[in-house]
Amino acid sequence: MPEGGGIDLSQEPAIYSPQRFAGQRVLITGAAQGIGLAVAHRIAYEDGSVFLVDRAELVHDVAKHLAEAGKGTIGSATADLEAFEGATAMMDAAIEALGGIDVAINVVGGTIWAKPFEEYAPEEIEKEVTRSLMTTLWSVRAELPHLINGGGGTIVNVSSVATRGINRVPYAASKGGVNALTAALALEAADKNVRVVATAPGGTLAPERAVKRGPGPESEQEKAWYQQIVDQTIDSSLFKRYGTLQEQAGPIAFLASREASYVTGSVLPVAGGDQG
Residues near 243 by beta carbon (within 8 Å), at least 6 away in sequence = 201, 202, 203, 204, 205, 237, 270, 271, 272
CB 197 within 8 A of CB 157: yes
C-alpha 184/C-alpha 193 separation (Å) is: 15
171 is annotated as an active-site residue: yes
| 114 phi/psi in degrees, rounded to 5 | -130, 105
Task: Choose, from 45, 171, 226, 242, the residue flagged as catalytic.
Answer: 171
Query: Which residues in the chain belong to E strands, given as ranges?
Result: 3-4, 7-8, 25-29, 49-54, 74-78, 103-106, 153-158, 194-201, 267-270
What secondary structure does DSSP assign to 87-114, as a single string? HHHHHHHHHHHHSS-SEEEE-----S--
Q: Give the active site residues.
A: 171
